[in-house]
Amino acid sequence: MTKSTRSRRQSRQFASGMSNVSTARADSFSDASSSSEGDGPVTPDMVFIDGLIERLMRAPLKSRVKRSRRAQQFAPEVDVYIKKDDVLRLCCLASDAFLKQSSLVRVPKDMLPATIFGDIHGQFRDLRIAMHTIGEPGEMTYVFLGDYVDRGPQSIEAVCLLLALKIRHPHRVFLLRGNHEDYNTTLIYGFYDECQRKYQDDTEQLVFQNFIHVFNCMPFSALIGEKILCMHGGLSPDLEKLDDINTTIKRPTMVPLHGLATDLVWSDPGACNVGWSQSTRGISFSYDDSVIEQFCLRHKLDFIVRGHQITPEMQGSGYHFTQNGRMVTLFTAYNYLNSGNTGATLQIFPGMKAQFRVFRPIRSKDMPPQAAANNNVYENGGVSNFVNNGRNFFGAFLGQT
């Protein structure tokens, strides 16, 4: 089978929710990024991972529960359940996959195109929509900026799918750590409660504890084409050289109270004062445009992509630039907490051109009949392309739809 034939076959499989693993050959799932992911024997672990991806991608939506007119109408959940033993096995494989790579992962130019995702927050059904729209990791590199869990209805399913994809495509799928991939944060904002509710017989809390261990193994930053730096939160006064991320942060690690690892997942742009300021979050720092500009010039970066926030300016676009255009905040979870917001991803193409893909929530009654009927992919979710014409520096890197 030729490489081009194999690539076309992969695309068809992923668009339909992955093929039946019992009949799939190893070359159907090969990853062109690494010889270790090529046409070798199908191991029991990979058969397990392929089957899990298939189930998660192809599972139907749950039937809607009728509510009163005054009750909030959230998007339907996906009807799938992952057994406790499968979660534990997945977590073991995922932690090994993360620790084989550095805290600062590098995505070379020959791995483009790449799609960068902002916060997901347990919106599993919407994550599937985005992946169906963008394409499979055999053809597209994925970089996720963190915050996969908490607040949304299906954090377990969302993070399990992403971990399975990481294991299957270790050099095509990169999952960075967010501030919600942390023991203390997940205790408060819903993930711990979801684990307790879905695994009530897990008296030793093995599911939750194993997820926390996986989170502690995750990398903190990614560098795309040596020109685009990605992280969940932002910059740090302790970040003098990019390689400090590798030499300073030793994994597995919890998110400490202060320091480089803390700032990478917690800090924010937009400080009122010049330079660095204490963050109003009560942890880490905020910083102004001069800090971003100096950092990019010093490290020869084109721009920085981060998640962590959804501000009023992002409500209709899913992203927001700092004033000098050197940093963009990206938020992918659309209709977050039923707020009607727009979500976005950022695609980086060969030649380092960039384009936003926007996801707008729309009502079923406003959709074409064919799309409304296919509720496994598009129910209550609208997808469209949008390209910012850019301002200042960043405008030169944006393509046109």
Residues designated catalytic: 180
DSSP codes, 136-179 = -TTTSEEEE-S--SSSSS-HHHHHHHHHHHHHH-TTTEEE---T
Distance CA 209, CA 369 (A): 44
How is residue 66 annotated by DSSP? P
Distance CA 175, CA 101 (A): 11
Contact 53, 164 (CB under 8 A): yes
Residue appearing with tokens 């001069």: 290
Q: Which backbone phi and psi does 11 adopt, to 5 degrees?
A: -60, -45
Closest listed residue to residue 346, CA positions, set 140, 105, 101? 140
**Per-residue burial over 37-72, b = 16 or more CB atoms within 10 Å of its CB, e = otherwise:** beeeeeeeebebbbbbbbbbbbbebeeeeeeeeeee
Residues 6+ apart with CB under 8 A from 339: 315
Distance CA 9, CA 16 (A): 11
Contact 116, 330 (CB under 8 A): yes
How is residue 29 annotated by DSSP? G
Residue appearing with tokens 């900026």: 145
